[in-house]
């Protein structure tokens, strides 16, 4: 089959790309042709289909250029006529058997769904965030969990300035949701794939096409894990690791607060983000000599760093959809101390594959770190259970056959 895989980037851009790259490989490994549809960017991987990609959308124009340029960018983020036209050309040139949508909001936009449905092409959409039911997309408003938009009350995003604390950004986000709901674009999708039980139930609670929601865990390429395992160093330095974007919703600040209470434990932080300068200043202010920032590493270096750690920490403070950093740590045989929120408890089984703690509770996190760090045998036993659990949960065979069964049923 010719499968159109749609995503806002065609380069490594986070957890959504980790999935897009892997599912594309999964399709190819089973004899299918993957046709990408994305946005032009100098960081994109080469593709013979890039002539069909849409023009790059730069949101910085809103602040740095004319008002007309800003309005143009905003309007394209809600309804992309360009994406429709480019897609029409692609579909006229190449036969597409079905479409796999990923992250398209704000760039490619759901306007393409009507174009696809007019040609009777089956559509499945893997949900990587919560934009259709939350204009802010993370259920976070000023640092706190917020579900005020339940029932389609998207005006709350404006009144509470949920998006970046900005009335303009919040208005655009809310307007986008109102427009897409009014035009009923989402009805054109045949199935929505939910990567976790938590996300599945959250969309169901918000009455978002409950009959079209399908819970299906992601797959993962464990060959990378085998390579990293081969590089594990015996009797190496003892440290724990935090891996992820350095953004407030990821909870790195809570981890640093906990490290003040664990002065004898070494922490390595892998990643970068908007909170990086603040976190480094915090380390300096509190003289946290037990904390090392490694910056953004490539995949091989990241897995090697996790593989040589005692265990990993996931301190997210938002409704984590799944969390590939947890998948990778567990696949490497490492227990995970994770916050009790979103899909994290589906992977971190408290007392078995790691420990859970209350999101944002640095004292409780420090207690969990001290408890696990003091028991080498417990680390080994939990790591073994973590590896077994995640290989059953996040599995290529299950994922591919789940996708195949959905498509064959259309």
pLDDT at 72: 57
pLDDT in tens, 7-56: 999 998 888 999 999 999 999 999 999 999 999 999 999 999 999 999 98
Kindly provide the b/e burial profile for residues 142-159, where b requires at least 16 CB atoms within 10 angstroms of the residue's own CB: eeeebbbbeeeebbbbbe
Q: What is the pLDDT of residue 169?
A: 86
Q: 199 with 343: CB under 8 angstroms? A: yes
Q: Which residues of 395-406 are buried (b: 16+ CB within 10 A; e: fewer)?
A: bbeebbebbeeb
Burial level of 137, CB count in 10 A (0-12/13-18/19+)? buried
Residue 238 is classified by DSSP as -
Taking the CA atoms of residue 5, residue 8, residue 13 and residue 18 in that order, the dihedral angle to the nearest 10 degrees is -20
Asked if 268 and 294 count as a contact pair (C-beta separation under 8 A), the reply is yes
How far is it between the farthest Cα atoms of the chain? 63
Helices (H), 9-104: 15-29, 61-64, 67-78, 81-93
Q: Is the pLDDT of residue 69 over 80?
A: no
- Residue 66: pLDDT over 50: no
Q: What is the pLDDT of residues 267-288, one digit of tens each?
A: 999 999 999 999 999 999 999 9
Domains of the chain: 2-128+190-219+395-408 (3.40.50.2000), 223-393 (3.40.50.2000)
> Helix 396-408 vs helix 15-29: angle between axes, to the nearest 10 degrees?
70
- Classify residue 89 as left (phi > 0), alpha (psi -120 to 50) or beta: alpha
Could you tell me the pTM of the whole model? 0.93
pLDDT tens string 140-197: 999 999 999 999 999 999 999 999 898 888 988 999 999 999 999 999 999 999 999 9
**pLDDT bucket at 67, cuts 50 / 70 / 90:** very low
Q: Which of 96, 97, 102, 98 is nearest to 125 (CA)?
A: 102
Q: How confident is the model at residue 61 (pLDDT cuts 50, 70, 90)?
A: low
Query: What pLDDT is attached to residue 408?
Result: 81
What is the spatial distance between Cα 353 and Cα 369, in angstroms, rounded to a whole number?
14
Residue 165, burial from CB neighbour count under 10 angstroms (0-12, 13-18, 19+): exposed
pLDDT in tens, 220-271: 989 889 888 887 777 678 999 999 999 999 999 999 999 999 999 999 999 9
Who's near 302: CB < 8 A, 6+ residues apart? 243, 270, 328
Give the pLDDT score at 79: 81
Exposed (0-12), middle (13-18) or buried (19+): which is 19, by Cβ within 10 Å? buried
Of residues 385 and 323, more confidence is placed in: 385
Which residues, 6 or more positions from 268, have their beta carbon under 8 angstroms from its beta carbon?
Answer: 239, 240, 241, 242, 292, 294, 305, 309
């Amino acid at each position: 089959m010719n499968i159109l895989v749609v995503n806002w980037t065609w380069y490594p851009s986070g957890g959504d790309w980790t999935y897009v790259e892997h599912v594309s490989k999964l399709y190819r490994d089973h004899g299918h042709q993957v046709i990408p549809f994305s946005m032009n960017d100098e960081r994109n991987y080469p593709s013979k289909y890039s002539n069909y990609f849409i023009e790059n959308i730069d949101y910085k124009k809103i602040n740095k250029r004319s008002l007309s340029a800003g309005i143009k960018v905003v309007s394209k983020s809600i309804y992309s006529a360009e994406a429709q036209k480019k897609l029409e050309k692609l579909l006229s040139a190449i036969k597409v058997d079905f479409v796999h949508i990923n992250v398209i909001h704000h760039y490619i936009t759901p306007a393409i769904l009507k174009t696809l449905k007019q040609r009777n092409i089956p559509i499945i959409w893997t949900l990587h965030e919560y934009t259709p039911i939350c204009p802010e997309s993370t259920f976070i408003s000023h640092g706190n969990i917020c579900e005020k938009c339940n029932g389609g009350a998207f005006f709350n995003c404006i009144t509470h300035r949920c998006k970046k604390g900005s009335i303009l950004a919040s208005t655009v986000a809310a307007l986008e949701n109102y427009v897409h709901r009014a035009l009923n674009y989402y009805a054109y999708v045949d199935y929505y794939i939910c990567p976790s039980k938590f996300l599945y139930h959250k969309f169901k609670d918000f009455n978002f096409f409950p009959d079209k929601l399908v819970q299906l865990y992601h797959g993962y390429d464990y060959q990378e894990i085998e390579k990293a395992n081969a590089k594990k160093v015996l009797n190496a330095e003892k440290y724990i690791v935090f891996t992820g974007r350095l953004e407030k919703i990821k909870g790195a600040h809570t981890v640093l607060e906990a490290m003040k209470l664990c002065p004898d434990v070494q922490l390595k932080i892998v990643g970068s983000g908007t909170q990086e300068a603040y976190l480094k200043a915090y380390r300096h202010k509190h003289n946290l000599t037990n904390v090392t920032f490694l910056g953004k590493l490539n995949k091989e270096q990241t897995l090697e760093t996790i593989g040589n750690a005692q265990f990993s920490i996931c301190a997210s403070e938002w409704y984590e959809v799944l969390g590939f950093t947890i998948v990778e740590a567990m696949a490497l045989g490492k227990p995970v101390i994770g916050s009790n929120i979103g899909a994290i408890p589906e992977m971190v089984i408290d007392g078995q594959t790691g420990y859970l703690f209350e999101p944002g509770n640095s004292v409780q996190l420090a207690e969990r770190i001290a408890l696990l760090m003091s028991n080498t045998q417990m680390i080994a036993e939990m790591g073994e259970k973590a590896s077994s659990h995640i290989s059953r949960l996040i599995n290529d065979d299950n994922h591919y056959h789940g996708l195949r069964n959905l498509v064959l049923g259309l």
